[in-house]
């Protein structure tokens, strides 16, 4: 198949323009792949769940009878031990759930140990 000579530059121009458009779109235009969009959506959903459920966890913690003693015990623990402490106490388990929601215990511990 013979292509007319005046069509070749138009073809290469269109191909080059598409390449430049893709580079600009992904680098500066905010375009992203479907996998990256799903990853960001999952991260944002997890953050939203923690931001909603952590205050409930903190309220459940404060509602117990010996909250002051448990809070003192919590503040003595290092940061990485506080989340498991909250999970073991059951405060990160929401009403109707059987297990704690991931990340809620850490958020709850952060709320409880932050000085007001």
Residue 80 sits in the same domain as residue 108:
yes
Query: Of 69, 75, 107, whose CA–CA distance to 91 is shortest?
Result: 107
Per the structure, the complete domain to which residue 109 belongs is given by 33-113
Domain count, the chain: 2
Residue 82 sits in the same domain as residue 63:
yes
Spatial separation of the C-alpha atoms in residues 29 and 23, rounded to whole Å: 9
Q: For residues 57 and 108, is the Cβ–Cβ distance under 8 A?
A: yes
* Number of neighbours of residue 73 by Cβ within 10 angstroms: 12
Query: 45-60, pLDDT tens digit by residue?
Result: 999 999 999 999 999 9
Residue 58 sits in the same domain as residue 40:
yes
Residue 56 sits in the same domain as residue 72:
yes
Whether this model's pTM surpasses 0.75: no
Query: Of 3, 98, 108, whose CA–CA distance to 60 is shortest?
Result: 108
Residue 25 sits in the same domain as residue 44:
no
Query: Of 113, 78, 84, whose CA–CA distance to 100 is shortest?
Result: 84
Query: 7-16, pLDDT tens digit by residue?
Result: 889 999 999 9
Residue 10 sits in the same domain as residue 54:
no
Residue 18 sits in the same domain as residue 51:
no
């Amino acid at each position: 198949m013979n292509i007319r000579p005046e069509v070749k530059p138009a073809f290469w121009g269109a191909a080059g323009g598409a390449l430049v458009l893709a580079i600009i779109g992904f680098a500066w235009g905010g375009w992203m792949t479907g996998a990256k969009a799903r990853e960001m959506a999952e991260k944002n959903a997890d953050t939203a769940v923690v931001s909603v459920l952590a205050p409930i966890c903190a309220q459940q913690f404060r509602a117990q009878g010996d909250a002051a003693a448990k809070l003192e015990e919590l503040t003595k623990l290092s940061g990485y031990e506080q989340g498991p402490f909250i999970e073991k106490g059951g405060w990160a388990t929401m009403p109707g759930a059987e297990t704690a929601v991931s990340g809620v215990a850490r958020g709850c511990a952060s709320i409880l140990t932050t000085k007001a």
